[in-house]
Structure 1
């Protein structure tokens, strides 16, 4: 009996030692500060928005959770920490369809701070670009009484203040969005790390894509997307302007009605005036003063007039056969269903 008791005591000791060793190993890896952040980054890499939000203890507002594609449960938010940042901006970009690609995640630095928190830095490849982020975490109790739990000191959230000029529509990583107001900077809450290719493409407008990266928890990133008229819009307006001027040239008067050109004369005309367009104005478009409008600035052009005239002094007849210079300007308004309204702007 004594021998068996000794044997069982040794076995029990070995089991306890193995358990303690396992706990120490697990707490130093999976349940370490680095392991906690790695789990969060891994969820982002899988585009598992629900897990990323759960790990980082970020709770979306009810109205967002009910309509988004993130799959997270809808729970109220508080007014501190992650909650205060969520209240600071739109949540439109907090969805899997707008997430980045995240590869080659590697822990590169770990610091134990004097207040007991830990700061860890990870390198990774974010949408093809080498990047890094630093997170500070703190202990948040234990699981099963032995495994360490952690939480972020600063929530892994950032604010992207995006200004879309000359439009309200933009795309981020292929998903379409609309800003709340025209021409004003709009705040969007995003997860750290995130990277967005922001652009605009529509029937008559375009924008060179910009890259916006958010890799610093708690920071604010500012970005501006400049939307301009595309080649299709310029060509469309050029055709309309040319057709309008050609129509003006059909009038057999010296001062065509409602047209930007004309030629007053003191002598009497003998033949009907014949107009043609010598040089059409080259269309270029800049943003108008009102939303959805574009302006062709005052641009030089020339019409050609041929008409026989009789001098009121000596009665002689001569031919006026010259170019008549003029300028013109047009306002272009974007209408529903991709229609353009082109109206001439007459000088005051």
Structure 2
């Protein structure tokens, strides 16, 4: 009887050993494989768990660039993570290619990992040969500030100067700008190459509010100009020299106001209204210096306007005429 019990125990122990060995083998082929290691990394990105990401062997942010886009709130929505290939390079390294998607935009990235020994003497250990981090170089044209995945940023060099930001690989970054007077269309940049540098620009332009405010300001300014009862209104773009003798106070009115367009200025961070036509109307009674006849000068007087626009410390635009 005791012999049968011992035999059963030995058989059970053998089955447990076989099961354990099989489990270890299965885990080394899945969770603790090269592809499983990379999948674990990608899973931390999908969960926006940056703390766990940085605990993974071989992941580091040791480049000279801003780390503001590696914060949890700056990460894109990584999904549809799937293994494409896992190549054993026969030197202890593997080239692991994964596919994924960010909001429907698909991409692939190849990671290079190397074996680092065994955990607990049983499970394979891995690390990234090259940290899965890339550089996104952003040039915010015509202004220093922009948004990246909802994070408000500014180029340290100022308007139109490129600045470098570290991003985990892969990353999807939506760049935009929206402020009181400026706007930029949203641009999505996919960063998929480990260790690479991707260049992107934010094309910042005057928005409708900016144009409307300058148009209103200009109409008011020209409206004040035409109240001056002189041939050459002071500080104004219109004027009409007349050699004959004027017999009464000149009367000005506006026939066609300039249609404002705002474009980037020649200096970064400045804006300008390019040379734009307009028409005023002048009525004045004149006496000829040749024969003394009196007549009415009643004509349209074309002129042009051109302005430089800068922003003051309080954010309000400062409009300066350029004649």
Q: Same fold (TM over 0.5)?
A: yes
**Secondary structure, counterpart of 2:314 in structure 1:** helix
Deviations 1:180-206 (A, max 9, x none): 112211111100111011000000000
Shift of 1:13: 2.2
**Secondary structure, counterpart of 1:224 in structure 2:** strand
Instruction: Calculate the aligned-residue CA RMSD, in Å.
Output: 1.5
Please point out which of 253, 257, 268 is paired with 2:234: 257
Shift of 1:251: 0.8
**Secondary structure, counterpart of 1:47 in structure 2:** coil
CA–CA separation in structure 2 for the residues paired with 1:18 and 1:10: 12
CA–CA separation in structure 2 for the residues paired with 1:190 and 1:254: 63
Q: Is the 8 A contact 1:249 1:256 kept in 2?
A: yes
Shift of 1:207: 0.5
Report whether the alignment pairs 1:323 with 2:309.
no
CA–CA separation in structure 1 for the residues paired with 2:266 and 2:157: 15
Report whether the alignment pairs 1:309 with 2:286.
yes
**Secondary structure, counterpart of 1:338 in structure 2:** coil
CA–CA separation in structure 2 for the residues paired with 1:184 and 1:342: 24
Between stretches 115-124 and 265-274, larger displacement belongs to: 115-124
CA–CA separation in structure 1 for the residues paired with 2:269 and 2:313: 10
Residues 166-205 of structure 1: matches in 2 within 5 Å? 166-182=142-158, 183-205=160-182
Shift of 1:4: 4.7
- Match of 2:123? 147
Count of aligned residue pairs for this structure pair:
321
Q: Is the 8 A contact 1:240 1:342 kept in 2?
A: no
Report whether the alignment pairs 1:30 with 2:7.
no
Q: TM-score, normalised by structure 2?
A: 0.95
CA–CA separation in structure 2 for the residues paired with 1:145 and 1:212: 43
- Match of 2:42? 41
Deviations 1:264-301 (A, max 9, x none): 11111112100011111111112223443211112111
